[in-house]
Structure 1
Amino acid sequence: MSGYALDNSWDKAKRRLALLEFYLDPMTKRRIGALGLREGARCLEVGAGGGSIALWLSEQVGAAGSVVATDINVALLQELVRPNLEAKQHDILLEPLPEGDFDFVHSRWLLHHLPDPELAISRMVSALRPGGWLLLEEVDFFPVHASESSDYRDFMVALTDTVVKASGRDCFWARALPKILAGSGLKDVGGEGDFSLLQGGSPVAEFFSLTAEQMQGRMLASGALDKDKLDRALALLTSPDFWAFGGGGVSVWGQKSVN
Structure 2
Amino acid sequence: MQALAAMYDPYSIARLAEHTIPETARCLVLGVGASRIAAHLADRAPYGEVVATDTDHTHTVRHPRVRQLTHDIATDPLPQGPWDVIHARLLLGHLPQRDTLLATLADVLQHNGLLVVEELAGTWPFSVLDAPDLHEADRLYATYGRAFGAVLAAQGVDLTWSRRVHAHMRNLGLDVDTQVHAATWTGNSPGTQLPWASAGLLRDQLTAHGMARADITAFRDLLRRHDLRVLGNAAVSTIGLRTH
User: TM-score by structure 2 length?
Assistant: 0.87
Name the aligned partner's letter for residue 7 of structure 2: Y
Q: Rate the CA distance shift 1:224–1:111 in 2: closer, same or farther, 3 A.
A: farther
1:95 paired with 2:76, answer: yes
- What CA distance in whole angstroms lies between the structure 1 residues aligned with 2:154 and 2:58? 23
1:158 paired with 2:147, answer: yes
- What CA distance in whole angstroms lies between the structure 2 residues aligned with 1:210 and 1:160? 16
How far apart are 1:81 and its partner, in Å? 4.7
- In angstroms, what is the RMSD of aligned CA positions? 2.1
Partner of 1:192: 179
Name the aligned partner's letter for residue 55 of structure 2: I
Match of 2:99, SS state, is: helix
- What CA distance in whole angstroms lies between the structure 2 residues aligned with 1:170 and 1:41? 32
How far apart are 1:190 and its partner, in Å? 1.0
Q: Rate the CA distance shift 1:125–1:254 in 2: closer, same or farther, 3 A.
A: same
Q: CA-to-partner distance for each residue in 1:74-129, whole Å, 9 max, x for gaps?
A: 2323x6251x2111122222233246421110111112211222122112112211
Q: Rate the CA distance shift 1:158–1:195 in 2: closer, same or farther, 3 A.
A: same
Partner of 1:144: 124
How far apart are 1:172 and its partner, in Å? 4.3
- What CA distance in whole angstroms lies between the structure 1 residues aligned with 2:216 and 2:31? 29
Q: CA-to-partner distance for each residue in 1:140-160, whole Å, 9 max, x for gaps?
A: 10x222255111111133234
**Alignment partner for residue 108 of structure 2, among 110, 113, 127?**
127
**Structure 2 runs not aligned, ≥5 long:** 129-134
- What CA distance in whole angstroms lies between the structure 2 residues aligned with 1:73 and 1:127? 24
User: TM-score by structure 1 length?
Assistant: 0.82
Partner of 2:162: 174
How far apart are 1:70 and its partner, in Å? 0.9
Match of 1:92, SS state, is: coil
Residue correspondences, number = 235
**Structure 1 runs not aligned, ≥5 long:** 1-16
Q: Is the 2:150–2:209 contact (alpha carbons within 8 Å) kept by the matching residues of 1?
A: no
Partner of 1:22: 6
How far apart are 1:161 and its partner, in Å? 3.5
Match of 1:159, SS state, is: helix
Partner of 2:220: 234
Q: Is the 2:9–2:35 contact (alpha carbons within 8 Å) kept by the matching residues of 1?
A: no
How far apart are 1:207 and its partner, in Å? 1.8
1:80 paired with 2:51, answer: no
Give the percent of matched residue pairs that are identical in Structure 1 and Structure 2: 26
- What CA distance in whole angstroms lies between the structure 2 residues aligned with 1:35 and 1:105? 13
**Alignment partner for residue 252 of structure 1, among 212, 222, 238?**
238
Match of 1:206, SS state, is: helix
- What CA distance in whole angstroms lies between the structure 2 residues aligned with 1:105 and 1:173? 18
Q: Is the 1:201–1:238 contact (alpha carbons within 8 Å) kept by the matching residues of 2?
A: yes
Name the aligned partner's letter for residue 138 of structure 1: E
